[in-house]
Amino acid sequence: MDSAQTLTLLTQPLTISRSDRWLACQRLQELHIPCTCQPDGTLQVEIATPLDLIQLRSVVQQLTAPRSILLDLLERCWIHHA
């Protein structure tokens, strides 16, 4: 992708608890993805690359998916790498 191009994304509101938003923001900042928790309770994330989008999806999934689904994903990863 040409460095002069920009990635335009539509915003999609997510249902995520206030404490999970804070955890998501902290983890995204650790991944060097700019984000802030807004006073209205929303999480604002700057997505600059497709990898940023994948990492955002992963962070949100880890915080919101039921434990059974996360265990299933982990087991499938182990099977494919064994």
Say if residue 22's pLDDT is above 60. yes
Instruction: For 30-55, write each residue's pLDDT tens digit.
Output: 999 999 888 888 888 888 889 999 99
CA distance 65 to 61: 5
Task: Give the integer Cα–Cα distance in Å for 16 and 37.
Answer: 12
Q: What is the pLDDT of residues 66-76, one digit of tens each?
A: 999 989 988 98
Model confidence at 77, pLDDT cuts 50, 70, 90, reads confident
Q: Do residues 41 and 14 lie in contact, with contact meaning Cβ atoms separated by under 8 Å?
A: no
Model's pTM, two decimal places?
A: 0.73
81 is written with which tokens? Answer: 């790498």
Query: Which residue type does 50 have?
Result: P
User: Where in the chain are the domains?
Assistant: 18-81
